Chain A
């Protein structure tokens, strides 16, 4: 079986997980049928709750609730300045340019928080698919830069997931849309979510999804609309109470919830009334009209349209070249958004597919491709932003242009400025602006271990490779000596490779501790079970053993008991095995005893496994009959006692009916039907001979194999091992009933 790889949409507001097998993709739901896991975490004492539950308690536990973590991924403290006032939780600067969230007395990196959500999704998938999951495809906004992608990948790692691919959300949506469409077309995917916006232009052609261009804004989405509404509400409240409103986390969260519900109401209604209890003041109420809301969000929508223009331009296309506009993301449910985009492209937009689920579905399809389950789909994506280096004088020299199909690479040569210089430092930039200071500095590339040479002589060829995840990898070689040089990128944001590894190892150790605890519990239970069983048998049969052996067994019990008190699972495992060896004689005695009893009295509780193991059944008068596919095993006396009908020896059918094994049988036992013909996989020699009549009836039946029998006629005549398979069509008849 191929390894299961899941597809995850790690969203600002909601997250989802989906899985695609050979046939089709589907989102994974909880017991109540909910696919969405709100990207909300609540730290309540020692307990961490994630998802719906955390969201429901976000008001009363506002001080310990975290949401919209995606907005912090791969961002620096200074970049987040504008956001700080709007987030009820505290963001503190951490080493380098990183940030941490301070909550409930602890600090967490955005990666760690995202990992908690990913763990929840992983757990959900494991429960639903009933298997351990180690690999995932995670989606990111197409316009996420290198740092934000790295951060997402690290979050996966912390959650114990190998992120086998980072894919762009609009591309994932396009896959979900285009999967069963065969005609060639050019589509635009407009993806406006809770915190990010993307536009991608793609060419679809017979299973090939080729991204022509992409543009976007990683800080524009429904959160901004909420914020505008909160500001409006705040202003109105302040007018009414004639004082400044201080935003405690509680008030903030209340306002946020009001804003959110107002936003949703205004999608279907022309106006909405908001009522808020203000402690110590009279009730506040105000009406917000759809028109007001639309004028609040219009500047944001205008920005998205600018991006659409840019993307079209980069693809070398006109608006009229677009055959279909696909709307993705929760915020595209706002009528004003649909209307504006429809106007811009001068065509109806496509919203029929569930805009919340398509991204996860697309991710799961990509996961199926990587798992080797699907070969008919080919995805050719692009890098969203140009990548370059800082040259002398602070200019940005572009090495890889935006919208280049990935994977892609560029080679650049560097040299030294001082005699004997052994290291070179290069700033790596991402962005479209001409000056380095206006681009995003991804980090520093440090080339070290250069062979000492006079200045300007070394030629260091650096290969900048953007892999299929849109993430930068660097290789360096000194051409004169042919030596590979070490090339390390110290990221400006997020974790270095070492830091990520460290957190991961800690996480594994924590997990290992948990695993160890589990293992110990299981093993100790096994020890107790074995000791109890041995004691029971000893009290029953102990006097049949020589004294010497009896003492030995007593001693073995004590030893095992002692070792199981320790904390080494391997030692307990070994002790268990030795214990089994020491008690083998007793076990044999017990089996013989059980068998004898069974033969003497068929009413006794039978243990077929014990008999099978003993291998002594040939000598007695019983056959061991196993029914497939259930595997139910029954010991049957050849004289039919216990299942045969009065005066007649029992048949396979009688045995089955007497033991709750269901075989469809319509003839009433007269052999007049032809529905129950079972397959005898083993032990035909133990059964009565096939009669001519039986053969005739079998000839008329479908799906007959050479080993088919009418179960109702096959009488067990000799002891032995019989394996009976009930054909699938017969089972289906039963289940249809």
Chain B
């Protein structure tokens, strides 16, 4: 792996340079992942919001080729089990990092921010607005008013895009030294908001 390598460790078995803590790409030894290894480190990435999604996919495939249970089916049971565990972690890590919303959510959790269970707050005026959009959509649909339904769909699309941009912007700021509690709770709010908005978008088929 030529590009940035943020896992400057050597394999304890063969002393080769590693780019991920889960496997040595040189001697293919699998390593039990410690609890504090985050998804970014797993792929040898810096812990920040912006990542190269092509590089992410490339590393995901490369790591999968090394750790996947298919290539360890003739190994002893505990290596087999370890391969299964690492691969399932890797799959989850890829799923989280490849989706920017999930990635932002994950970064928030890593930075000690509140989870959706604890903090259910949303931006002011959002819920009434969503309710209004939904009701007017249903009404327009009942009237068979195509111009109106299209207009509402457009509004929802805009709302969705704006919220997403806001989330991305906040998530980028998370790793700056100035990040504070108000930033984290603002991000929480926007992440809660996007769930409502996505539900609505699904409802109106955007």
Interface residues of A (CB under 8 A from B): 164-165, 205, 208, 366, 369-372, 375, 378-380, 404-409, 465-468
Interface segment among B66-74, B116-124, B143-151: the answer is: B66-74
B88 interface neighbour in A165, A208, A407, Cβ under 8 Å: A407
**A375 CA to B68 CA in the complex, in Å?**
11
Majority DSSP secondary structure for residues of B touching A: helix
Q: Shortest distance in angstroms between A165's beta carbon and chain B's nearest beta carbon?
A: 8
B65 at the interface (CB under 8 A from A): yes
- Say yes or no: A405 contacts B69, CB within 8 Å: no
Nearest-CB residue, chain B, relative to A401: B95
Task: List CB contacts (< 8 Å) of B47-86 with chain A.
Answer: 61, 64-65, 68-71, 73-74, 84-85
A379 — which chain B residues lie within 8 A by C-beta? Answer: 70
Nearest-CB residue, chain A, relative to B83: A407
- Say yes or no: A408 contacts B92, CB within 8 Å: yes
- Say yes or no: B91 contacts A378, CB within 8 Å: no
B87 at the interface (CB under 8 A from A): yes
Subset of 20 A-B contacts with CB under 8 Å:
A165-B70, A205-B61, A369-B70, A369-B71, A370-B74, A372-B73, A372-B74, A378-B61, A378-B68, A378-B70, A379-B70, A380-B68, A404-B91, A404-B92, A407-B87, A409-B85, A409-B88, A409-B89, A409-B92, A467-B69
Q: A406-B91, A409-B85 are in contact. List 4 more A-B contacts (CB 8 A).
A: A404-B91, A407-B84, A407-B87, A465-B88
Q: Which of B89, B92, B94 has the most CB of A within 10 A?
A: B92
A372 — which chain B residues lie within 8 A by C-beta? Answer: 73-74
Given contacts A208-B61, A378-B61, contact A408 B88 (CB under 8 A): yes
**A705 CA to B15 CA in the complex, in Å?**
44
Given contacts A378-B61, A378-B65, A465-B84, contact A405 B91 (CB under 8 A): yes
Q: Shortest distance in angstroms between A714's beta carbon and chain B's nearest beta carbon?
A: 47
B68 — which chain A residues lie within 8 A by C-beta? Answer: 378, 380
A468 interface neighbour in B65, B74, B84, B94, Cβ under 8 Å: B84
Q: Shortest distance in angstroms between B158's beta carbon and chain A's nearest beta carbon?
A: 20
Q: Shortest distance in angstroms between A363's beta carbon and chain B's nearest beta carbon?
A: 13
B91 interface neighbour in A205, A370, A407, A467, Cβ under 8 Å: A407
**A405 CA to B93 CA in the complex, in Å?**
11
**A404 CA to B89 CA in the complex, in Å?**
12
Q: Shortest distance in angstroms between A365's beta carbon and chain B's nearest beta carbon?
A: 11
Q: Shortest distance in angstroms between A23's beta carbon and chain B's nearest beta carbon?
A: 19
Closest 6 CB pairs of A and B: A405-B91, A407-B88, A409-B88, A370-B73, A408-B88, A468-B69
Q: Shortest distance in angstroms between B69's beta carbon and chain A's nearest beta carbon?
A: 5
- Say yes or no: A370 contacts B88, CB within 8 Å: no
**A582 CA to B58 CA in the complex, in Å?**
71
Nearest-CB residue, chain A, relative to B94: A405
A407 — which chain B residues lie within 8 A by C-beta? Answer: 69, 84, 87-88, 91
Q: Shortest distance in angstroms between A512's beta carbon and chain B's nearest beta carbon?
A: 26
Number of interface residues of B (CB under 8 A): 18
A404 — which chain B residues lie within 8 A by C-beta? Answer: 91-92, 95
Nearest-CB residue, chain B, relative to A378: B65
- Say yes or no: B95 contacts A370, CB within 8 Å: no
**A375 CA to B84 CA in the complex, in Å?**
17
A205 — which chain B residues lie within 8 A by C-beta? Answer: 61
B61 — which chain A residues lie within 8 A by C-beta? Answer: 205, 208, 378
**A165 CA to B84 CA in the complex, in Å?**
13
Nearest-CB residue, chain B, relative to A164: B73
Q: Shortest distance in angstroms between A475's beta carbon and chain B's nearest beta carbon?
A: 10
B87 — which chain A residues lie within 8 A by C-beta? Answer: 407
Nearest-CB residue, chain B, relative to A5: B73
**A208 CA to B62 CA in the complex, in Å?**
10
**A208 CA to B65 CA in the complex, in Å?**
9
B64 — which chain A residues lie within 8 A by C-beta? Answer: 208, 378, 380
B65 — which chain A residues lie within 8 A by C-beta? Answer: 378
- Say yes or no: B73 contacts A405, CB within 8 Å: no
Q: Which of B64, B65, B71, B88 has the most CB of A within 10 A?
A: B88
A366 — which chain B residues lie within 8 A by C-beta? Answer: 70
Q: Shortest distance in angstroms between B135's beta carbon and chain A's nearest beta carbon?
A: 22
- Say yes or no: B70 contacts A468, CB within 8 Å: yes
A468 — which chain B residues lie within 8 A by C-beta? Answer: 69-70, 84
**A379 CA to B84 CA in the complex, in Å?**
14
**A467 CA to B71 CA in the complex, in Å?**
14
Nearest-CB residue, chain A, relative to B61: A208
B95 interface neighbour in A378, A405, A409, A467, Cβ under 8 Å: A405
**A378 CA to B91 CA in the complex, in Å?**
14
Nearest-CB residue, chain A, relative to B85: A409
A466 — which chain B residues lie within 8 A by C-beta? Answer: 88
B70 interface neighbour in A370, A408, A465, Cβ under 8 Å: A370
A380 — which chain B residues lie within 8 A by C-beta? Answer: 64, 68, 91
Nearest-CB residue, chain A, relative to B202: A313
Q: Shortest distance in angstroms between B121's beta carbon and chain A's nearest beta carbon?
A: 23
Q: Shortest distance in angstroms between A717's beta carbon and chain B's nearest beta carbon?
A: 53
**A164 CA to B70 CA in the complex, in Å?**
10
**A465 CA to B85 CA in the complex, in Å?**
9
Q: Shortest distance in angstroms between B88's beta carbon and chain A's nearest beta carbon?
A: 4
- Say yes or no: A408 contacts B91, CB within 8 Å: yes
Q: Shortest distance in angstroms between B42's beta carbon and chain A's nearest beta carbon?
A: 15
A165 — which chain B residues lie within 8 A by C-beta? Answer: 70
**A465 CA to B69 CA in the complex, in Å?**
14
B71 — which chain A residues lie within 8 A by C-beta? Answer: 369, 375
**A437 CA to B64 CA in the complex, in Å?**
37
Nearest-CB residue, chain A, relative to B70: A369
0 or 1 for each of B100-131: is its CB under 8 Å from A? (1 = yes):
00000000000000000000000000000000
**A693 CA to B85 CA in the complex, in Å?**
70
B92 — which chain A residues lie within 8 A by C-beta? Answer: 404, 408-409
Q: Which of B73, B92, B95 has the most CB of A within 10 A?
A: B73
Q: Shortest distance in angstroms between B24's beta carbon and chain A's nearest beta carbon?
A: 17
B95 — which chain A residues lie within 8 A by C-beta? Answer: 404-405
Q: Shortest distance in angstroms between B54's beta carbon and chain A's nearest beta carbon?
A: 12
Nearest-CB residue, chain B, relative to A375: B71
**A372 CA to B70 CA in the complex, in Å?**
9
Q: Shortest distance in angstroms between A460's beta carbon and chain B's nearest beta carbon?
A: 19
A467 — which chain B residues lie within 8 A by C-beta? Answer: 69, 84
**A597 CA to B82 CA in the complex, in Å?**
68
Nearest-CB residue, chain B, relative to A3: B74
A375 — which chain B residues lie within 8 A by C-beta? Answer: 71
**A371 CA to B72 CA in the complex, in Å?**
10
Q: Shortest distance in angstroms between B202's beta carbon and chain A's nearest beta carbon?
A: 9
Q: Which of A370, A372, A404, A405 has the most CB of B within 10 A?
A: A405
Nearest-CB residue, chain B, relative to A372: B74
Q: Shortest distance in angstroms between B91's beta carbon and chain A's nearest beta carbon?
A: 4
**A323 CA to B96 CA in the complex, in Å?**
27
Q: Shortest distance in angstroms between A519's beta carbon and chain B's nearest beta carbon?
A: 30
B88 — which chain A residues lie within 8 A by C-beta? Answer: 406-409, 465-466
**A205 CA to B58 CA in the complex, in Å?**
11
**A380 CA to B85 CA in the complex, in Å?**
15
A370 — which chain B residues lie within 8 A by C-beta? Answer: 70, 73-74
Nearest-CB residue, chain B, relative to A382: B91
**A47 CA to B192 CA in the complex, in Å?**
66
Q: Shortest distance in angstroms between A374's beta carbon and chain B's nearest beta carbon?
A: 10
Q: Shortest distance in angstroms between A249's beta carbon and chain B's nearest beta carbon?
A: 44
B94 — which chain A residues lie within 8 A by C-beta? Answer: 405
**A208 CA to B64 CA in the complex, in Å?**
10
**A372 CA to B91 CA in the complex, in Å?**
23
Nearest-CB residue, chain B, relative to A469: B69
Q: Shortest distance in angstroms between B94's beta carbon and chain A's nearest beta carbon?
A: 7
A378 — which chain B residues lie within 8 A by C-beta? Answer: 61, 64-65, 68, 70
Q: Shortest distance in angstroms between A457's beta carbon and chain B's nearest beta carbon?
A: 21
**A485 CA to B28 CA in the complex, in Å?**
33
Q: Which of B70, B92, B95 has the most CB of A within 10 A?
A: B70
**A371 CA to B74 CA in the complex, in Å?**
7
Q: Which of A366, A371, A375, A408 has the most CB of B within 10 A?
A: A408
**A465 CA to B87 CA in the complex, in Å?**
11
B69 — which chain A residues lie within 8 A by C-beta? Answer: 407, 467-468
Q: Shortest distance in angstroms between A236's beta carbon and chain B's nearest beta carbon?
A: 43
